[in-house]
Structure 1
Amino acid sequence: MTSVTTGEAGNAAAGRWQLPDTLILIFIVGLLAAGLTYLVPAGSFQSQEITEVVAGIETTRSVIDPASFAYATNDDGSLQYHRVALFEGGGGVGFLNFPFEGLVSGSKWGSAIGVIMFMLIIGGAFGVVMRTGTIDNGILRLIDKTQGNEALFIPVMFALFSLGGAVFGMGEEAVAFAIIILPLMIRLGYDGITTVMVTYVATQVGFAASWMNPFSVAVAQGVAGIPVLSGSGLRIVLWFGFTAVGIAFTMHYARGVQREPTRSYSYHSDAFMREQPMAELDNSRWNLGDNLVLLTVIGTLVWVIWGVVSEGWYIPEIASQFFTMGLVAGIIGVLFRLNDMRMNDIADAFKEGAGIMLPAALLVGCAKGILLLLGGADSAEPSVLNSILNSAAGTIGGLPDVLSAWFMLTFQSVFNFFVTSGSGQAALTMPLMAPLADLVGVSRQVAVLAFQLGDGFTNVIVPTSASLMATLGVCRVDWGDWARFAWRFVALLFVLSSITVVLAQLLGYQ
């Protein structure tokens, strides 16, 4: 995609230089990952069982034994390198295999194939909802009823999504909300970037600063051997603080875009939404059919939140819930002839909505392929990733306590590029970081804090995050344009996180 700044200067700059497409960037990272397999020998850990109590329920979890690391060796005792070939047959992972292998990896419960199918289903379902015209007409009425108070949309939505991330680990669910909110943002004079900020990014701010997230804080504390959900007082303060920073940053950017639309980093990609015809309020339609479609959407969102919080539902169930929403909305649209819908229009809208998600789905699969090039995230299987993890732990262990705490944050931020799952990263890194913290005089609570801040905030920018790429996909924002905007926010969060971790260590946070 071309680089976009403001006015004619931006157009001239775009003519001189093009930012590489996200797929090109992922290909380059894949090339570097393949190169590492020639330089770093493969290693593995043994696992051990730990027991933790969360909300009065005792569970057993398998984690790595930090003292069990060993490099894989050949029969002659030499170090074993799992060098990636240019091409690998028999279902292996060679460099030219990594896009396909990444796309088909995982299961319906997660990355990558499950996430990709999830994206296609919800894209299709909301394509049907948008075809009815109810969302467009509803936006017109919402704007009319809230004239003079539009500025409240951003702080209210950011705070609510951040709370969702803090309480129940909201992330993938933000994709569906972004589809609904994007037309509203464009209509208010904002852009796709603002939509991503108030939905997905807000969830990750809450996720990182959470005091009770069962998928990050609870897991990390259980693995570290400290009371689950302890130290919540400081984390609640951090949630308010980081959420306020996110709101202020988003408001500053959004107001600038509202005053001068060409300042938007997604100005060119937002053209699609700006060019979509939207009736004026006086000519817009609203009838019983629209009420039923709106109730269907709201009911589905409530159903999803209830299922996630109360029943522990995840990707398969959520995808089915949104498919149901699309089906019901399509039938209502046909029965009430909303936008003159017919049966075939349901199928066409579903295919068009799913098609919009395909570019982001490809990026999710290719990003997963990079992890496969490094040997995967299985600690028991010899891999380059395990060796990198062990070496990082050894490096941190030789530093003073405050510097060690800061390097824990830095390491977790970098490691999140390879393992974006909060619970997965906790299971891999905390068994090493917790005893390491004891050795260098860092509080285990601080080690957990470094984990959650490093894990959560870098989800805002790493292209290996399936939820980020899905949200960018539905908002039609290229990752390169997003990175040009988001790096400042990520840098600000990292500076604030560094100050937080250092102060927590100096003040003896337990």
Structure 2
Amino acid sequence: MKEKKKRSFPTAFTVLFIILILASGLTYLVPSGKFSRLDYDSQTNEFNITNYNDEVISEPATQETLDKLNIHLKLDKFQDGVIKKPIAIPGTYTQIEQHPQGIMEILKAPIVGVTDTVDIMIFVLILGGIIGLVNKVGAFDAGIAALSKKTKGKEFLLVTLVFFLTTLGGTTFGLAEETIAFYPILMPIFLVSGFDAITCIAAIYMGSSIGTMFSTVNPFSVVIASNAAGISFTSGLIYRIIVLSIGFLITLSYMYWYVKKVSKNPQASLVYEDEKAIHSRFLGNYEKDSTVEFTIRRKLILLVFSLAFIIMIWGVSRGGWWFEEMSALFLAVSLIIMFLSGLTEKDAVNTFISGAADLVGVVLTIGLARSINIVMDNGFISDTLLHYSINLISGMSGSVFAITQLLVFSFLGFFIPSSSGLAVLTMPIMAPLADSVGLSREVVINAYNWGQGLMSFITPTGLILVTLEMAETTFDKWLKYILPLMGIMGVYAIIMLVISTFI
């Protein structure tokens, strides 16, 4: 009797393309609309107001102009460069001619998505080339063998340390996309230490996600949201630190529970069936009792590779770096490693190209994820969804108002995964609603942070599918792992939000 073929979950590409088609469908169902937007021209000291017809009207940059437009912000927020992006003007939503995105727009969107994210793609390809070089000379094999001997019996300290550092990065400088670089170096270490791929993803991805969700001083979320809401980001800082600390411990406890369950029964691992493929990708021909010598050459290569991450973190957090600078750094590192490797010029270059080719699937996922946002932007439905959300919240009060705000920001976070973009779009309109019900605007900031952050655990238009493609893991496996924790953190966020309404 012929054995039935087991049905597998679709790849990241298929999931994203299905969502792209659904997003296109929304542009037929959801009315197109726009808020008028205001931005500040420092050269002329004027406000430029762009209406729904894309007509630009200039007004003098005065406090009177802001008050007239019901924008409850101080003039110096614009003049000092604190608010740089155009902000939505309350009460100006206008329905416009429908802009449905058809078959041609669906097919063009991934192409535009690739061109929009080419900086991230180049970074990932260079990283893949470096990984190829480091693997070729056996530096990873030797380094992992040496490390596994020293960490024996203390393996969970690795999870705790990585989770703590990525949480710290997320809450302070918005560590997110940069974590893509961590998987090639940390995944082999986690696997050799006895953990599965899910645990490595959780330590890195959930670290940055918990950090950004419960942000304390992250300039791309809480700082820009506070400025757009017209309050200081230091307002409520102590409470946010407390909430972050408890959230950190809850998530770490959940990860520990999963690790203990898998250690007792390896088949309980959500990626047990994919273990061979994952080990093949990240460990290659590595064997546990490997006797690969940890030579001076290999130590130098790993040292240069590791220093690159330290420099990258400094550049992103202090030097104003983005992917162009990070790519330049890793390109320099690849040249140094080529020199240290002892390989011939032809062998070194071919190894680099082969390593880059291994991550082509990852870079195409990045472009496809961006295409979903492009379709929704071109369909002009984001402002409409915000308009509906405002109408839903208006008239509510107290704790119900706060909880509904959190749910609304979770909903909007699915369609607008950019934390800074969502803050600038929503805060000038959402924050004053807190005044009308007698609540602090800090409540709205927290609802925005925690709501969008919660959705980032699973948002396909965000970073998770790119991460899973990098880690050779499918979306359904991640959902099985994260949904229980997402429920726990959702309840926790609601409780802490309700408490904040009484402070």
Quick one: which of 257, 263, 269 aligns to 1:258?
A: 263
Give, as a single letter, the amino acid of the residue that structure 2 aligns with 1:156.
Answer: L
* Change in CA separation of 1:375 and 1:210 when aligned onto 2, cut-off 3 Å: closer
1:394 maps onto 2:391 in alignment: yes
Shift of 1:15: 4.8
Percent of residue pairs identical: 29
Give, as a single letter, the amino acid of the residue that structure 1 aligns with 2:112.
Answer: E
Give distance in 2, aligned partners of 1:40 and 1:282.
59
Shift of 1:132: 2.3
Give distance in 1, aligned partners of 2:83 and 2:288.
58
Shift of 1:279: 4.7
TM-score, length of structure 1 as denominator length: 0.85
Query: Which residue number corresponds to residue 143 of structure 1?
Result: 148
Query: Which residue number corresponds to residue 497 of structure 2?
Result: 501
Describe how 1:369-408 pairs up with structure 2 within 5 A: 369-376=371-378, 383-408=380-405
* Change in CA separation of 1:352 and 1:248 when aligned onto 2, cut-off 3 Å: farther
1:45 maps onto 2:40 in alignment: no
Cα contact 1:52–1:222 (8 A) shared by 2? no
1:209 maps onto 2:214 in alignment: yes
Shift of 1:444: 0.8
Query: Which residue number corresponds to residue 26 of structure 1?
Result: 16
Query: Which residue number corresponds to residue 291 of structure 2?
Result: 283
Quick one: which of 481, 487, 491 aligns to 1:491?
A: 487
Length, aligned pairs only = 463
Query: Which residue number corresponds to residue 444 of structure 2?
Result: 447
Query: Which residue number corresponds to residue 118 of structure 2?
Result: 113
Give distance in 2, aligned partners of 1:461 and 1:353.
28
Shift of 1:316: 0.9
Give distance in 1, aligned partners of 2:351 and 2:90.
52
Query: Which residue number corresponds to residue 473 of structure 1?
Result: 469
Shift of 1:414: 1.9
Give, as a single letter, the amino acid of the residue that structure 1 aligns with 2:349.
Answer: A
Give distance in 1, aligned partners of 2:289 and 2:26.
59
Give distance in 2, aligned partners of 1:147 and 1:257.
17
Partner SS state of residue 417, structure 1: helix
Over residues 181-215 of structure 1, what are the superposed CA-to-partner deviations in whole Å (9 max), with x where a residue is unaligned?
11111112211111111112211111111211111
* Change in CA separation of 1:350 and 1:81 when aligned onto 2, cut-off 3 Å: same
Quick one: which of 73, 83, 101 aligns to 2:100?
A: 83
Cα contact 1:51–1:58 (8 A) shared by 2? no
Give, as a single letter, the amino acid of the residue that structure 2 aligns with 1:206.
Answer: G
Cα contact 2:130–2:352 (8 A) shared by 1? yes
Partner SS state of residue 66, structure 1: coil
Partner SS state of residue 460, structure 1: coil
Describe how 1:103-502 pairs up with structure 2 within 5 A: 103-104=114-115, 106=116, 112-275=117-280, 276-279=284-287, 283-334=291-342, 341-376=343-378, 383-466=380-463, 468-502=464-498
* Change in CA separation of 1:473 and 1:348 when aligned onto 2, cut-off 3 Å: farther
Cα contact 1:224–1:444 (8 A) shared by 2? yes
Gapped runs of 5+ residues in structure 1?
1-11, 73-79, 88-93, 107-111, 335-340, 377-381
* Change in CA separation of 1:304 and 1:51 when aligned onto 2, cut-off 3 Å: farther
Cα contact 2:32–2:95 (8 A) shared by 1? yes
Gapped runs of 5+ residues in structure 2?
40-72
Cα contact 1:413–1:454 (8 A) shared by 2? yes
Over residues 391-428 of structure 1, what are the superposed CA-to-partner deviations in whole Å (9 max), with x where a residue is unaligned?
11111113233122111111211222222221111111
Query: Which residue number corresponds to residue 59 of structure 1?
Result: 82
Query: Which residue number corresponds to residue 91 of structure 1?
Result: none
Give distance in 2, aligned partners of 1:258 and 1:58.
52
Shift of 1:134: 1.4
* Change in CA separation of 1:241 and 1:349 when aligned onto 2, cut-off 3 Å: farther
Shift of 1:436: 2.1
Cα contact 1:357–1:474 (8 A) shared by 2? yes
* Change in CA separation of 1:256 and 1:34 when aligned onto 2, cut-off 3 Å: same
Cα contact 1:217–1:229 (8 A) shared by 2? no
Partner SS state of residue 48, structure 1: strand
Cα contact 2:146–2:294 (8 A) shared by 1? no
Partner SS state of residue 59, structure 1: coil
TM-score, length of structure 2 as denominator length: 0.86
